[in-house]
Each structure stands twice: as C-alpha cells, then as structure tokens.
Copies of this chain bind each other. A is one copy, B any other.
Amino acid sequence: MSVVMEKGIKEKFRMSGYTLTSQRRAVLEALKASKGHPSAEDVYLLVKKKNPRVALGTVYQALSVLEEIGVIDSKHWSESPTRYDLNLEEHLDIRCRRCGQVSEVPNVGLGDLESDIRRNTPYEVTRTMLVVEGVCPGCRGKEPAAR
C-alpha cells in the first residue's frame, strides 16, 4: 500500500517532535484516498477498512496533530462537520447544501478585503475566511435531502 511518505511531511513531524505513528500515517493515507474534503467520520470509516481497531477519537486526535504541524487544513461550515483538506494553498471551497459535497472554486481571492477589515476594526484580526454554500450540479432540481 502506502506510497512513500513525502519528505516534507516527515520533516514536519521531525520538527514538531510528534512521531509519525501508523495511525497518523493511516489518517493521512485516507485523506489522500478520499480525494476530497472528508469529515473526521469519513476518514474514520476509511481507516477502519485497513485497521478495524482504530478509534474515532484517535482519528480526531491524529487530524488535530496533522493540522497543528501544518500537514493538512480544515474548514468548517455550520450545519456540517468539519472538513479536512490536503490542499494547503489558500483557496476557496464551496459546499453543497443538499449532498454535502465540497469542491474547490478556482481564481477567487480576497483581494483588499483583509486590509479593508484591518483598517475598520480595532480588533487584531487573526482569521478571515469566506464561507460559501450552494447547490451542486448533481443536486440541482432534485429534492432537498441529507447532510
């Protein structure tokens, strides 16, 4: 299975002091395999296929370590569990309110927004993110359903 783990990832583990355990590796593999924006539950289901003994809590813990050391990112829409992403580039993701699928929206940037904000609030701004929802082509016309 498991393709060689990229150098950068090993490096990030080394720098952080965390160890690259088999569970953490499995979570990363699952993330790759899913080729999308899976939830912790999705990852858990995938990981369990290879190793039925992993616990959901372990997956959460692994995801949080991976995010902490900068190997993955997470995004959150209300009314949906947090989604995880291997794509570390700053980019926009849109979530289908019917089926929950998350897809990337290319060529959209925040432009001057960040600086506009900083100029208009006494807060020290630490995070600015665009949350976008819609209906995916596959769900158009269909009944409102789950997720």
User: Which residues from chain A sit less than 8 Å from chain B, CB to CB?
Assistant: 76, 78, 82, 92, 94, 96-97, 103, 105-108, 110-111, 113, 116-117, 120-137, 140
* A122–B104 alpha-carbon span in the complex (Å): 10
The copy count of this chain in the complex is: 2
Residue in contact with A132 in the complex, picked from B96, B117, B132, B140, CB distance below 8 Å: B117
* Also in contact, A123 and B94, with CB within 8 A (given A76-B78, A78-B82): yes
Residue of B nearest to A110 (CB): B113
Please, which residues of chain B bring their CB within 8 A of the CB of A126?
A: 97, 133-135
Nearest first, the 9 closest Cβ-Cβ pairs linking A and B are A123-B134, A76-B78, A125-B134, A127-B133, A124-B135, A105-B121, A122-B137, A108-B116, A107-B120
